[in-house]
Every structure is written in structure tokens, then in C-alpha cells.
Chains A and B, each alone.
Chain A
Amino acid sequence: MKSARVGLIVGACATLLAIVLPFIGLHIPWILPGVVDVVNSTGTLDVLALCFVFAGVALGYDVMFGYTGLLSLGVVMHFAAGVYVFDIALTDWHWPVFSALLLTAAVALFLGLVVGAVSLRVSGIAFTMVTLAFAQAFYFLIEDNPHGLTGGDDGLSLLSNRLPAFLSGAVSNTRNLYWVALGFLVVTGVVVWVVTESSTGHVFVAIRDNEQRVEVLGLRPFGFKLAAYTVSSLIASGGGVVYVLLIGTAVPSAVATTTLTLSIVIMVVLGGAASRWGAVAGGILYIYLQQYLVKVAAEPTFASLPAVLRVPLSQPQFLLGALFILFVLFVPGGLAGALLRIRLARARHKTIETTSS
């Protein structure tokens, strides 16, 4: 009970700090991902906003993966659906923002329910593979450029004249976009908290632990699994909308590949699955490292390194993959698991001290 309150306070403080961050002009050398070493520089705020988007998507994915035990590899399809439906409605059809959002929400709900229902006909590894196949099919569809809607491999830039002035892509709006991304993460956090604390959420966990037992208790797991799948995919689509606002363009190789799905899985596992803040921390850490390593690799001193070092170090994906392997091997439960172990060890230490004195 006490740790839940501490968690809530830490979360609230972190959110407050994140809200006021764009006003902090602090100069911090080395660690910032932007080119300029100032906290509220455009580069750093852009990266942080991207961190928030993927932290939210990872947290939504955790509802399905961590809490319900469904290893879906189709999450990127729902993310890309959010990106593309919103982009197409605004750019190709010149719809107003509100209608575009409504359409995106409707498509996201439809896709989540239908693809979820079809994929959940099978379970275990077959489910994983079917979701992967669906996501790949979606990738092919986008790449194909049906009716000239998606722009194929070249992508589709978001036409900004339909957007309200405070969001329309210009540099001066970095701050606003940052707050939008933060808002998405906070809303996602609240939704996931409410869902996992509800009785439905407890059934999710029960299904993960023992599906047969849930069935014996008279509940039909299918409906609950579909609910978990749909919540996750809705959040992913929402993340897609914020992503395209932020980046301003949709390219299949950036928003719809299996590599991105695997990155989202990695974020959740790095942070710690089914631990509420783990996925958020993992998502922020992953995107931060990815962008920061790109910055480091672009430093002029970096080019003077011998090729044996330079080549692997210039590939963020290599370093992140290696870090991930080390985490899976040596840090089960990710960051959240590690913190829990430290806390338990300290508590045990304390009890030993009090009993011995």
C-alpha cells in the first residue's frame, strides 16, 4: 500500500517536472540528446516528445503482453494505422482535424476488434506468428500505394494547413507538440492504470497465469483477451496520430516494419513487463539511447576511432540489441525487477538488523 502511494507521488512529480521542462533553460553538457546542450532546446524537446510517444505505445502494449501474456507482434500495424489514417484524411482528403480524428478512432477500433478476433482463434506461438503475418501484410499494403493514397515507399508528408496554428509543424511549436506527446503519455498512463486495477484487469492477469483456471471459473477468456488486444491497439493507434503530428511525415520503413514491433517488445522487457512504470521507463530509455547514440556517432572525434570499434558503436540498433540480450540474461524483470530486488534486499537487511539488536 505504501509503495503504491510512493509510486503515485513519484509519478506526479515526474509529470510536473515534464510539464515545466520547456521553460528550463539549464545548460547540461554531454548527456542531452539534442545538438545544443540546453534542456529546452528544440532538439532535446523533440527527442523527449518522441520518447513520450513510444513510452505510451509500450505501456499500451504491456496491457496485452505483460498483463495478459499475449506475445503479439502485430502492434506496429495498429500504430501505422493511426499514422496513416490520420495522415490520409488530412493530406489526401483535406478533412478537418476533428473528423480525421474521429475516422482514425473508428478505424483503430475496427482493426483492433477484427484482427484481434481472427488472431485470437489460435493461441501461443501460432498467435504470435499470425499477428506478425497481419502486420507484414499491412506493411505490403502501405508500400503498394493503393489509389495513390499512402505514397508508397516515399511516404506521405502531413499537410499542415488543416492543422490548428499552434500545432502546424513550425519550429516555434516544438513546445506545444511536446505537451501533446506528454498529454498522450499521461492519458495512456491513467487509462492503463484504470484498466489494470479494474476487475477486468485482474482477469487479464489470471489468464496470463493460468487460462484453464479462468475457464473453469466460468469466464470466457476470449472476450477478455480481445479486450486487452483492443485496448493495446487503440493506444498504439493514438500514439501513431501523435507520432505523425510530431514527425510530420509517414514512411513505411519507419512506422510499419517488424523491427519497430520488436523495438516495442524490447522497450517493455527492458523496463520490466507488467509493472506499470516499467514499460514507460523502458520506452523513454530506448528512444533516448537510440537518438543519443546517433548524436555520439556523428561527433568528429568518433571518425578517428579504428573500424573495429567505430562500426559497431555507430549502429544504435546493435548496441540496443546487445544491451537487451544482457538484460534478458542477467536482469530478469528489467529495470522494475532490479529495483524490486534492491528494495527486498534492503528490507531483509533491515529486518536482520532489527532482530539482531
Chain B
Amino acid sequence: MSVILSLAFSGIALGAIYFLAASGLSLIYGLMDILNFAHGMFMTLGAYAGWDVASHLPISWGGVWLLVVEIVVSIVGGALAAAITELVLIRPLYGRPLAQVLVTIGLDLAVVALLLGGFGSNSLTLPVPLWTIEASRFGKVILPHADFIAIVAGLIVVVVLEWFLRRTRYGITIRAGVENREMVSALGIDVGRAFTLVFVIGGAMAGLAGLLYSVVFSGDLVSPLQGDSLLIFAFIVVVIGGLGSIRGSAVAGLIVGLVQDFANYYLGTHSGLAEFGNLSVVLLLAVVLEWRPRGLFGRTL
């Protein structure tokens, strides 16, 4: 029982990170019809920004503030990368969705190569406060602190994002645009500004996801390829949840995180099945699409 609870807990933490990565992708696709390959790069850049700033801080910064600074820097870094991407590369290509997808592919390859050249292919170690490596024991259940951070971050983002999309003017414009972009621009609302905004929001969440993935799941290591491997799972979450749906991303993120975590634990130990956790996610995708081609919460494609 205690094993199951521990697994569920880390599965939810993984799901929270998938949600952070996938909801931005889903919003960008919903509003702009762009499959954003640069999202993986936003995640990687967020993690590298956090690493870069944290490794320049004096050693005395060991406590909670270190983590807070890293989180803020990763969010800002991801948002900045996304804003530049949208303004410089996506904007000139409005009305050519395929070209926009292609540009994000080229950008992802180029930036990852640049990071490989600049920092080498070896992973870098992110300095973190000691207590994030520790775990608490509740009865027989051991819960790592890092998982808490991911879950809390996921919850905060869900609440803030829902509030933003439902209660603010810009949020309502974005939701309306996802629903019917032509109608929104016909009503004289500047959709272009909403485009930049979803990129910034998506980039911010991606940067945070990249950093948290390092802290929670890869032992505080940062590597140039981490975003791209996370991106594929984020794509799967988006498709399972339904393109354009935030709620779908949240639910699908949790499902995928839990399935992957449990499959890895129970089947991954058998020889020749080490990657079964990852394979199970792809199987899940195939099953969901056979059953509901538009995903769990999807609108018409």
C-alpha cells in the first residue's frame, strides 16, 4: 500500500510537470494552429537560465531563496525566449501555418546545437537547497520534497491560469480566439497581441517545467536535450487531452504521469522492459485515439 501511495505521489508530480509543458502547447495550437517545436527549447532554456544564475550566486545563498530565484529566472527565461521567437520568427509568417511549424523546428535544432557547443553534452549540476533532496516520512509512506514542489507549482499554475482565462479581458480574448479566431478579429479585437501573449504564457510555463523536471526527476541535472525528450511526452499529453483544452491537458497530464510511473515501477525492472513506462504512454495514446480521435476534451480538429 505504501508503495502504491508513493508511486501515486510521484506520478502526480510528473503529471504536474507534463501539465505545465502541455498547457502552453495546447493554448498555442488552439489559438494559432502552430505545433510549437520550440517548446522543448523553451524548457531547456528555462533550466539553463536557472542554472546560470544560481551558479553565479554566492555560496551563502543555500536556503529556500536559492530555489525561488531559480524558479523566477526559469520563468522569465522561458517567457523571454518565447516572446523573441514569436515577434521575430512567427510574426512575419502569419497566415502560413506550415512555415511557422517549420521555423520552430529549425529554431529548436539550432538552439539545442548551440547549447551543446557552449556547455558540452555532459549534464550540469543545478545547485539546490538541501531539503529538496530530502524526503518526509508519513507512517510508512516516503514522500520526496521535490515532488511537493512540482505539485504545488502545478496547482498554483492551474488556479492562476483558470482565473486569467476566465476573469480577465485578455484571457477571455484568448479563449474566444481558441473557439473562433475569425469571429474575434471580425469584432475588431487585435488577435496579434493575443498571439504574443499566449507565446509568453506558454514559454513561462515551459521554462518552469524545464527547471522543475531537472529538480524533481533528473537529480538536479541540466542537459541540452532534456527539453526535447520532455516535449514528446508533452505532445502526447496534448493529443490525449484534446488540442486547445487546458482542462484536457491537466487531466491527461495526470493520467500519463501516473501510467508512466506505475508501469516503470512494476514492469521496468524486468529485463528487456526497461523502457516499458515510456512505451506504455504511446500505447495509451493509441488506445485513446482509437476510442476518441479528438482526445478526452477535444474540439473538432
Asked if chains A and B come from one complex, the reply is: yes
Asked if B76 is at the interface of the complex by the 8 Å CB criterion, the answer is no
Give chain B nearest CB distance to A127 CB in angstroms: 9
Chain A residues bordering chain B, tally (CB within 8 A): 45
Contact A144 B106 (CB under 8 A): no
- Tell me the bound Cα distance from A118 to B117 in angstroms: 39
Contact B99 A332 (CB under 8 A): yes
- Tell me the bound Cα distance from A263 to B285 in angstroms: 25
Contacts of B92 in A (CB 8 A): 329
Asked if B4 is at the interface of the complex by the 8 Å CB criterion, the answer is no
Contact B235 A129 (CB under 8 A): yes
Contacts of A145 in B (CB 8 A): 272
- Return the CB mask of B101-141 against A: 1 if under 8 Å, else 0: 11101111111111011100000000000000000000000
Contact B301 A123 (CB under 8 A): yes
Contacts of B283 in A (CB 8 A): 137
Most-contacted residue by chain A among B99, B275, B294 (CB, 10 A):
B275
Contacting residues of chain A (119-139) with chain B, CB-CB under 8 angstroms: 121-126, 128-130, 132-134, 136-137
Asked if A212 is at the interface of the complex by the 8 Å CB criterion, the answer is no
Contacts of B16 in A (CB 8 A): none
Asked if B89 is at the interface of the complex by the 8 Å CB criterion, the answer is yes
Residue of A nearest to B295 (CB): A126
Give chain A nearest CB distance to B222 CB in angstroms: 18
Contact A258 B110 (CB under 8 A): no
Given contacts A147-B272, A317-B109, A317-B113, contact A328 B35 (CB under 8 A): no
Contacting residues of chain B (227-245) with chain A, CB-CB under 8 angstroms: 228, 232, 235-236, 238-239, 243
Asked if B286 is at the interface of the complex by the 8 Å CB criterion, the answer is yes
Chain B residues bordering chain A, tally (CB within 8 A): 50
Given contacts A129-B235, A137-B282, A141-B275, contact A328 B117 (CB under 8 A): no
What DSSP secondary structure best describes chain B's contact surface? Answer: helix
Asked if B68 is at the interface of the complex by the 8 Å CB criterion, the answer is no
Asked if A311 is at the interface of the complex by the 8 Å CB criterion, the answer is yes
Tell which of A140, A147, A312, A328 touches B103, judged by Cβ atoms closer than 8 Å. A328
Contacting residues of chain A (293-333) with chain B, CB-CB under 8 angstroms: 311-312, 314-318, 320-322, 324-325, 328-329, 332
Contact B301 A144 (CB under 8 A): no
Contacts of A141 in B (CB 8 A): 275, 279
- Tell me the bound Cα distance from A352 to B78 in angstroms: 53
Which A residues fall within an 8 A CB radius of B?
71, 118, 121-126, 128-130, 132-134, 136-137, 140-141, 143-147, 258-259, 262-263, 265-266, 269, 311-312, 314-318, 320-322, 324-325, 328-329, 332
Which B residues fall within an 8 A CB radius of A?
29, 33, 35, 37, 89, 92-93, 96, 98-99, 101-103, 105-114, 116-118, 228, 232, 235-236, 238-239, 243, 272-275, 278-279, 281-283, 285-286, 289-290, 293-295, 301
